[in-house]
Amino acid sequence: MFHSKATVMNILSVISHYAFYCLMRAGGALLLSGVLAPAQAQLPTQIGPGQLLSQGAVHYSWGDYDKAARYLYQYVDAAPNHTAARKLLAAGILRTGEGLAQAVDVLTALPEDVWRTDGQYRALLATALLAVGDDIAGLDQLRRLGAEFETPIDTWLTLQRPDKTSTETSTETLAQDRTSADESVTVVDLGPELIKNRIIGVFRLLSQQRYAAAVVAVDELLDDDRRSPLYNHLAGIVHAENNYPELAQGFWQDALRLGKPPLLSTMLGLARLATYYGEQKRAGELLARALLQAPQQIEIILAQAQYWIETGATERAETLLANTWRTAGQRESIVKLIELEIQQGKYTSALTHAEELKAGYPDWSESWLNLGLALLLNGQLGSAWQQFQELTQRQPESAQPWYLMATVSMRAQDYVTALQELEQAISIESDYLPARLVRAEIFLLGQAYERALAEAHAVQNIAGNLGTGFKMEGDIHVAQGNFPAAVDAYAQAYSRSPSMQTALLLNHAQLLAGNHEDAISTLRNWLSIASDASSVRLQLAIQLEQSGQLDDAIQEYKRTLQLEPDNMIVLNNLAWLLRDSAPQQALELAEHALALGTERPEVLDTMGWLLVNSGQQ
């Protein structure tokens, strides 16, 4: 029987609707195959978008992913902003196992603003990134999903044809669609392997600091597949964040061995652990290997640059970052370069590169931020303030621009304006800690101690697990001369956020409060954490000497000398303590101190005493 094109289209419309009905009610490919087979035989060259979407969904449900992708490619061309269709298309590509990079392209073709709140979309993107070997970006996306979504991501995709009045589909394309398929709705199971809820769940537990539960969850994944590089790497993350670096290292080494090629994230994790253990050579080897595997991967480039910075090869870091910016235009590299130049006091170079960044990425907020900071450090306060003011327009829901404007006002010693700008920042984000800390600092400078304390207490309420608010409270009590209260506050800060700075602040407050033995114990405690902290060890030696514990002081001076063999204070003080028990060694130490080119009175005094004591009048 001969059918006109219009008749064929009407027949196809009915068949398409019945196919969807079968899919929704029975979910059976057998029944559907009997429905759509005649449609395939009579499929005209030109069909409407509604049928393209229908056919794509049905073929996906059949498991014919290649044909599903072909239909969906055509549909997405007609309705480029239909996110559900893009999700199904990406899933189909991933299922075929071929042309995986196209899945990433399909999903990233839309601006992030369109799909930022769509957990299913982002989960598919993470899976696509993992599939093409970009495990750093893929795992980062899964981690953020775990932190942002409190419940599992739905694996069922709801498909609905955009309404004909929708701006998502062109009028011209819709005019060709003579079916009523835009009313069709169906659901398709994308499958747990594409959504990765179990991995997201591990990251959700980590974001909630439920480490024991995270360990159980990742162990269940490993029970399913002990040879999975991804699961072993995830186990390493769990144990690293639970502060078990030895366990993390073991799992990451297994992941490194199993990965073909190894996960970049694993090499980065092992490099960080090697740095933690002081194995700089091993860290360098891992980073070099990662950079060889992915020379354009910005996270690897930044890690390599940071390694060179930490090992003193700052020029190599600068060269790598500058070359990456010039050859690949990777904006993160020049941001890191600007940061490095600021750390080194190269403010003019930082300004030059910040201007390049702004010229290359004029609509990127980070460009305005970095240029503003560079202008501020170069003393161009008015221009810096204007950059940050522009940021308030670009980021109206962010407190940071107002906080930065306040830092400029503080530099100009305009504290009244700074307080107004900080008030604006806090009105936008009441828990924005930098603004509250700076406001407390201004109150402290103005000796408004009660208001400063109120601000410090607000910080403690916002971030009670951090030591920041307690440190600020300690500073305020020291300014008031209330040293016992300062000791209590600094002790709280140190227990929450142990650091060398906090240890020294607590030690100083304990000395001011007359608690000399407690002060010495604080220094010993920090040295049990960081034994190579030479400045702390020197303070310990000095305080032991002052408290009359001379034998212990001598031992600490000797340990400090091993860390800093040319430290004039250590050489001089140790020489003085050894003047009677080891006069020859004392004289050699004093000569070493004098040879450093200093003529400080205490060094000359020690040398003179030792010469007289040895009979050299």
Is it the case that residue 15 has pLDDT exceeding 70? no
* pLDDT at residue 237 in the model: 97
pLDDT at 38 exceeding the cut of 50: no
If you average pLDDT over every residue of the chain, what do you get?
87
- Residue where the block lists tokens 């498991």: 63
pLDDT of residue 163: 52
Least confident of 33-42, 370-379, 547-556: 33-42
For residue range 366-416, list pLDDT tens digits in order.
Answer: 999 999 999 999 999 999 999 999 999 999 999 999 999 999 999 999 999
Q: Is the pLDDT of residue 30 over 80?
A: no
Band (615; pLDDT cuts 50, 70, 90): low
Closest CA to 457 of 480, 439, 484, 445: 439
- CA 407-380-384 angle, 5° bins: 50
Each residue's pLDDT tens digit, 410-451? 999 999 999 999 999 999 999 999 999 999 999 999 999 999
Q: Which residues pair with 156 in a beta bridge?
A: 189
The ranges assigned to domains in the chain are 5-202, 567-617
| Beta-carbon contacts of residue 181 (< 8 Å; ≥ 6 apart) | 13, 16, 17, 48, 49, 50, 51, 53, 54, 161
Nearest C-alpha neighbor of 352 from the set 327, 331, 378, 332: 378
Structure confidence at residue 601 (pLDDT): 80
For the cut 80, the answer to whether the pLDDT of residue 32 exceeds it is no
Section 11-19 average pLDDT: 42
The string of pLDDT tens digits covering residues 445-498 is 999 999 999 999 999 999 988 899 999 999 999 999 999 999 999 999 999 989
Neighbouring C-alpha atoms within 13 Å toward the C-beta of 120: 19
pLDDT tier at 22, thresholds 50, 70, 90? very low
* Rounded Cα–Cα distance for residues 27 and 38 (Å): 19
Q: What SS3 class is residue 188?
A: strand
For CA atoms 350, 356, 359, 364, the dihedral sign is negative
**Dihedral in degrees, nearest 10, Cα atoms 61, 67, 72, 74:** -160
Question: In sequence order, which residues have a C-beta less than 8 Å from that of residue 297 and are 6 or more positions away?
Answer: 134, 136, 264, 290, 291
pLDDT above 70 as % of the chain: 87
Phi/psi at 156 (5° precision):
-90, 125
Q: Is the pLDDT of residue 44 over 70?
A: no
Q: Which residue has the higher pLDDT, 279 or 403?
A: 403
- Residue type (1 letter), 245: P
What's the CATH architecture for 5-202?
Answer: Alpha Horseshoe (1.25)
Contact 141, 121 (CB under 8 A): no
Provide the 8-state DSSP code for 183.
G
Find out whether the peptide bond into 434 is cis, omega within 30 degrees of 0: no
Q: Which of 460, 452, 518, 530 is nearest to 493 (CA)?
A: 460
Three-state DSSP state, 186: strand
pTM over the 0.75 mark = no
Per-residue confidence (pLDDT) for residue 13, from 0 to 100: 43
Backbone dihedral angles phi then psi of residue 45, each to the nearest 5 degrees: -65, -40
Using only C-alpha atoms, the chain has a radius of gyration, in whole angstroms, of 33
Query: How much is the pLDDT for 18?
Result: 42
**Spatial separation of the C-alpha atoms in residues 236 and 230, rounded to whole Å:** 10
The pLDDT assigned to 361 comes to 94
Q: How far apart are CA 103 and CA 525, in angstroms?
A: 53
Quickly state the pLDDT bin for 312 (edges 50, 70, 90). confident
Categorize the per-residue pLDDT at 47 as very low, low, confident or very high, splitting at 50, 70 and 90: low
CA–CA distance, 369 with 362 (Å, rounded to integer):
11
Taking Cα atoms as reference points, which of 203, 208, 240 lies closest to residue 221? Answer: 203
13-27, 161-175, 335-349, range with greatest mean pLDDT: 335-349
Residue 584 parent element (H or E) = helix 583-595
Report how far residue 497's alpha carbon sits from residue 480's, in angstroms, rounded to the nearest whole number.
24
Angstrom distance (rounded) from CA 148 to CA 118:
11
